[in-house]
Amino acid sequence: MQKTVLITGASRGIGAATALMAVQRGYAVAVNYRSDAAAAADVVSRIEAAGGRAVAIRADVAAETEVLHLFEETERQLGPLSALVNNAAILEPQMTLETMSAERLQRVFATNVIGSLLCAREAVKRLSTRHGGPGGAIVNVSSMAARLGSANEYVDYAASKGAIDSFTLGLAREVAADGIRVNAVRPGLIHTDMHASGGEPGRIERLKGSVPMRRGGQAEEVAAAILWLLSDEASYTTASFIEVSGGR
Ligand code: NAP
């Protein structure tokens, strides 16, 4: 039977690249997005043009009712879930902590942390062999920011990714005996629109000299690591992290 993967935030960037690569590996793909319906529809069209199966489903991962709807729709339209990629996240304009509002902190943690936990919860309910599920895999998209801290740019975002790292370890150990592997990737400086959200579209140009490989990465280079962690080739790998950061 064809495997189904749900990828949050798959309308562009790393999520979209992962969706396109997942189809090449034989998955049916649920392309989740929050606001850009046209971009999500374009990802689905590209998948269908390549002979694959995909659906776009709108849901804000920070809203519990929308997460429940996202999982129900994924299974209704594509069949039983096999895997989850917790990719959706937000980044807000660069500033020091002194000037960050409480509302901003709530927004960043609601999407990046609570959204990922809620999606993982719904995936575990469906995948766990303890509940009669088939087992499966979850990949969380963390960041090198979790290790580096993002001083003077966005310590809130970095802290949210630190939470993702702890959550990856804890959940992996919680569900390891129930047939579910949980791992994470930590991308470094990747060419996507996210840097513009932080207010500096040219950020990689400024920082690439600090990368041992002297360049930013492509979304496909992250997608390849995610797809490996999802695959049976990673069958004894759980509670692990792959850094896709050019050595940074
Ligand atoms: P991006 O280009 O900004 O794309 C973000 C995606 O997430 C979009 O599809 C967006 O959908 C979706 N999204 C945002 N908030 C959402 C919500 N509340 N519910 C559902 N979907 C939501 O980002 P990216 O660079 O590809 O980043 C993907 C992941 O990699 C994130 O976890 C990010 O933290 C991580 N990462 C990126 C880099 C980098 O250098 N780019 C480095 C380290 C880690 P809409 O457009 O529809 O809102």
Taking CA atoms only, the protein residue closest to ligand 1 atom 7 is 9
- The β-bridge partners of 57 are 32
Count other Cβ atoms within 10 Å, centred on residue 77.
15
The atom of ligand 1 lying closest to the CA of 60 is 19
Burial class (CB in 10 A: 0-12, 13-18, 19+), 26: exposed
Quote the CA–CA distance of 91 and 133 in Å, as a whole number.
35
User: Whole-prediction pTM value?
Assistant: 0.98
Indicate which residues carry an active-site annotation. Answer: 157
Tokens at residue 121, please? Answer: 């919860």
119 Cα: distance to centroid of ligand 1 (angstroms):
15
Query: What pLDDT is attached to residue 247?
Result: 98
- Which domains can be identified in the chain, with CATH numbers? 4-244 (3.40.50.720)
Task: State what percent of residues in the chain have pLDDT above 90.
Answer: 100
Question: What's the pLDDT band for 1 if we cut at 50, 70, 90?
Answer: confident
Instruction: Express each pLDDT in 62-74 by its tens digit.
Output: 999 999 999 999 9
Taking CA atoms only, the protein residue closest to ligand 1 atom 29 is 87
Of 32, 16, 112, the closest CA to residue 68 belongs to: 32
193 Cα: distance to centroid of ligand 1 (angstroms):
8
Of 71, 56, 51, the closest CA to residue 11 belongs to: 56
Instruction: Express each pLDDT in 190-222 by its tens digit.
Output: 999 999 999 999 999 999 999 999 999 999 999
99 Cα: distance to centroid of ligand 1 (angstroms):
23
Tokens at residue 9, please? Answer: 């935030």
DSSP 3-state assignment of 151?
Answer: coil
Mutate to test the pocket of ligand 1, among 87, 205, 218, 244 (most ligand atoms within 8 A of CB): 87
Mean model confidence pLDDT for the chain: 98
